[in-house]
Amino acid sequence: MHNLLLILCCFLLGFLLRRSGRMPEATPAALNSFIIHVSLPALTLLYVHDLRITGSVLLLASMPWLHFLSAAAFFLVAGRLLRLPRKSVGALILTGGLGNTSFLGLPMIEAYYGRAGIAHGIMVDQLGSFMVLSTLGITVAGIYSEGRPSFISIVKRIAYFPPFLSLLLAFSLMPFSYPEWLTAVLGRLGGTLAPLALFSVGFAFRPGHIGGNGRSLALGLGFKLVLAPLLLSVFYLGVVGMRGLSAEVMLFEAAMPPMITAGIIAAEHDIDPPLAGLMVALGVVFSFLTLGAWHRVLGAF
């Protein structure tokens, strides 16, 4: 419960401080840069280092990849049919294809499934969501920010993306144990991610932008909170035949609202920042209703 209160408080503080005029308008840019270069790499180094990769773990990790690819296909087709602006399509792919499987997902898993479900959630998040963000996510950001970047340009964006570098470093350090001081430092730095990210989203939140983005928001949140979890449930439960706590937690993660870091990357690359910010902010709000419904549906299987 305290994690959910932290999410709410940080979002409201960001929103209220922007309204008060006590902080500069460039505040989100500075916070987002710190998150990308410090908080997220520290969290990756901390959690990925202790993962043990097995066949069942890879199956759990496959969900975010399928989620992102299905989102890309859906929004590309929907964007063409509805004649959405190009950058709006890019923002929808990023925020509709990546879920908040970490600092909202893990507290929600603990609330609904207990601590036994957290290990499964970490597998989905670290080997799935973070890797998708660091590869496919940054590739999409490059495409929609520059138009038609070269293959070399895309590779450079991935190679120099700080969370991706920290992911490679974490894998290379797996055979070695971290000293206690390093674990403590990484924990404190990684712990800044959730409050800073929610504060940044709250600060950038503009309720007045909802009217001009109503159709895109309905499309994006409808896919992220309802359609994507439904399609993935049909595949993993009906086709693959997965059952048990691991399957429930994985699909519960699929129903999470848009990833805050995906919204931050969209803003950093100037890919329709208002739409990306609204997807993240309103997605968190609506998810408190939809996640309860998904928990009951998944429990029926």
> What separation in angstroms does the CA of 183 have from each of 10, 37, 131, 178, 230?
25, 18, 21, 6, 38
pLDDT of residue 3: 65
DSSP 8-21: HHHHHHHHHHHHHT
Extents of the domains making up the chain: 55-138+192-299
pLDDT of residue 95: 96
Helix (H) or strand (E) holding 209: none
Query: Any bridge partners for residue 258, and if so which?
Result: 99
More confident residue, 296 or 168: 296
Dihedral angle over CA of 243, 246, 247, 252, nearest 10? 140
User: Rounded distance, CA 184 to CA 167, Å?
Assistant: 18
Q: Which residue in 99, 49, 56, 22 sits closest to 245, CA to CA?
A: 56
Q: What is the percent of the chain where pLDDT is above 70? A: 95
Tell me: the pLDDT tens digits for 33-87?
898 889 878 887 887 777 777 778 889 999 999 999 999 999 999 999 999 999 9
Quote the DSSP letter at residue 99.
B
Extract the tokens encoding 298.
């998944």
Q: Which residue in 272, 270, 229 sits closest to 253, CA to CA?
A: 229
User: Rounded distance, CA 286 to CA 274, Å?
Assistant: 18
More confident residue, 149 or 243: 243
Tell me: the pLDDT tens digits for 165-176?
888 898 899 889
Quote the DSSP letter at residue 289.
H
CA angle 32/33/36 to nearest 5° reads 85
More confident residue, 95 or 4: 95
Tell me: the pLDDT tens digits for 175-228?
899 999 999 999 899 888 778 877 887 887 777 667 678 899 999 999 999 999
More confident residue, 115 or 29: 29
pLDDT of residue 209: 61
Tell me if the pTM is above 0.85: no
Q: Which residues, 6 or more positions from 237, have their beta carbon under 8 angstroms from its beta carbon?
A: 243, 247, 251, 301
Amino acid at 7: I
